[in-house]
A and B are shown apart, each in its own frame.
Chain A
């Protein structure tokens, strides 16, 4: 290992990365557009349920109950208007009471998850129960475990940060994969290896170039969107580990791809698979626990926990371990493929 050689090779790789118009353009455009998306997204969460009601007979006990529970309620006179309010998402859901107030129909927007549909139906049934004058002879108590998030739910823009950071890192990783693929296909690797440059020098310099091209843009994004808060050192740490992990993916893609199209093809496939855990962060419960078997989960989830739940180093220790060990395996695989291709 020769530090001077590594410095020269790293400089060369970064130079070539930015000479590739496609990757330099998507680096800059991606960074700017992700920042714009962040600032466009709402910074607060509307936690209130808006209810629409249509009842020919005025409700008495139910409306008193709704008032007491601070539920914003809109009353409608026509069923068409009631349905329109649900479809246009002006309300969370709607209840149509029958003339004798003994039957109800609950209208729910099409994109509401199964669990929420059931919850809305229970609310509607309870309202009917109250209106009919029944009381349950039971006692219930609410105990919040952990920090009570009422009034401080995670806004979409903060949920989006780990996802976008991952997108940014992955995009840059494809640029690195392209550099590796070009080095092999253009046979420049043989020109390097016929000088005092060793295979380790090439590996280390590519890793450094990869770190610079993935870590710096993602760090800029974090600083611009979240600022430098008390969690910043831990964010930087997991970002660094995450970049090492994605660089190992870049090595594998670069070692098996024959050209730019190969990089885009293999990279695109990897990109899609590795993106699944992000959806889980954006919309919890949308995927089952199998997404945890995708290693990128530990980068996105780790970032999510630090940014949105003030997780400590101890909380993300498992994440770090899995990212590093998976990265190590992928590096090894990339090395095997690279060795096969350069003979």
Chain B
């Protein structure tokens, strides 16, 4: 399968501060790559280099086979970008915001209503964006990123600060786009989002990629599975017991609990991406 995004030794520094340190990765056609890391890890800087807003100090990036340094504007005509912050024209309506960008992409016969319906803003098309809630604005941002039917979608923290319903709707849209063949580069510090959406995740910490694989592989490689058992003690109080799976004496330990204690609940538990991130970097994602 062809590589739609290809980064080779991508490097960027703000003055003397090295923000991104020689990172390399590929994203294949139709794949969703979750770029996971805490604030200040270098996610947004990488994002900005890939969409052509920052020129890499070193290294190269190729989008759809084109060099981002040399063919920036050609690439930007074929990608969709959704920023972490809201940057819409607040005095314009949702419809006018979309039409403006369609005009900039030179799209004839653009139908804003179709997109607004997809993001659940039908009936609000003529309202000024400044009257919208954060969730509604974010939906317009996602719709704007889809105006030119992009082959690659770059999404920077698309659900950051949104309510669960809005977040879920945006996630559905991202998956829909992938179904239509789009490749997605998604930066996030939300492990659940990365886990739910991504085919592969890259962990970035202090400007370097520390791990890159499918969520399942990462969990199997670095995580520990466990059994959580809630038991009722003799005095009537509840007690939690944890048995690590994949250990030599696991069967015996489970047998002991089931034999001696009165079981209330039993749950299997697998490592989260955050656990793995902490394991790899020694720091959390927030």
Contact = CB atoms under 8 A, between A and B. Distances in A.
A8 B103 contact: yes
A207 B144 CA distance: 26
B89 A194 contact: no
Given A5-B104, A19-B91, A191 B76 contact: no
Nearest to A194: B81
B77 A12 contact: no
B87 A191 contact: yes
Which of B79, B89, B103, B104 has the most chain A CB within a 10 Å cutoff? B104
B53 A196 contact: no
A196 B85 contact: no
Given A12-B100, A194-B51, A4 B106 contact: yes
Given A187-B85, A187-B87, A188-B87, A194 B92 contact: no
A216 interface: no
Interface in B74-96: 76-77, 79, 81, 83, 85, 87-92
Interface string A300-343: 00000000000000000000000000000000000000000001
A185 B46 CA distance: 22
Nearest to B14: A343
B258 interface: no
B54 interface: yes
Interface in A184-219: 186-188, 190-198
Contacts of B144: 191
A196 B73 contact: yes
A8 B83 contact: no
Contact of A8 (B51, B77, B92, B104): B104
Interface residues of B, number: 25
B222 interface: no
Interface in A2-48: 4-5, 8-9, 12, 15-16, 19-20
B105 A196 contact: yes
Nearest to B96: A15
A319 B89 CA distance: 39
A187 B101 CA distance: 15
B87 A16 contact: no
B87 A197 contact: no
Contacts of A198: 73
Contacts of A187: 83, 85, 87
A81 B81 CA distance: 81
B52 interface: yes
B129 to A, nearest CB: 11
B68 to A, nearest CB: 12
Contacts of A190: 53, 83, 87
Contacts of A193: 52-53
A192 B76 CA distance: 10
Interface string A108-119: 000000000000
Does more than half of chain A's interface fall in helix, strand or loop, or is it mixed? helix
Interface string B96-116: 000011011110000000000
Interface in A221-242: none
B100 A8 contact: yes
A20 B128 CA distance: 13
A77 B12 CA distance: 91
Contacts of A196: 73, 76-77, 104-106
Given A4-B106, A19-B91, A188-B88, A194 B53 contact: yes
A188 B77 contact: no
A38 to B, nearest CB: 33
Contact of A197 (B83, B85, B89, B104): B104
Contacts of A16: 89, 91-92
A343 B54 contact: yes
Interface string A49-90: 000000000000000000000000000000000000000000
Contacts of A8: 100, 103-104
Contact of A195 (B89, B92, B104): B104
Nearest to B105: A195
Contacts of B51: 194
A188 B104 contact: no
Q: Which of B51, B52, B89, B90 has the most CB of A within 10 A?
A: B89
A75 B89 CA distance: 72
A196 B107 CA distance: 12
Interface string B52-81: 111000000000000000000100110101
A190 B87 CA distance: 8
Nearest to B85: A187
Interface string B127-144: 000000000000000001
A64 B105 CA distance: 86
Contacts of A191: 81, 83, 87-88, 101, 144
Contact of A194 (B52, B85, B100): B52
A194 B76 contact: yes
Nearest to A12: B100
B74 to A, nearest CB: 8
Given A188-B89, A190-B87, 13 more contacts: A8-B103, A12-B100, A187-B87, A188-B88, A190-B53, A192-B104, A193-B53, A194-B51, A195-B77, A195-B101, A195-B148, A196-B76, A196-B106
10 contacts: A5-B104, A8-B100, A12-B100, A20-B91, A187-B85, A191-B101, A194-B51, A195-B76, A195-B101, A195-B104
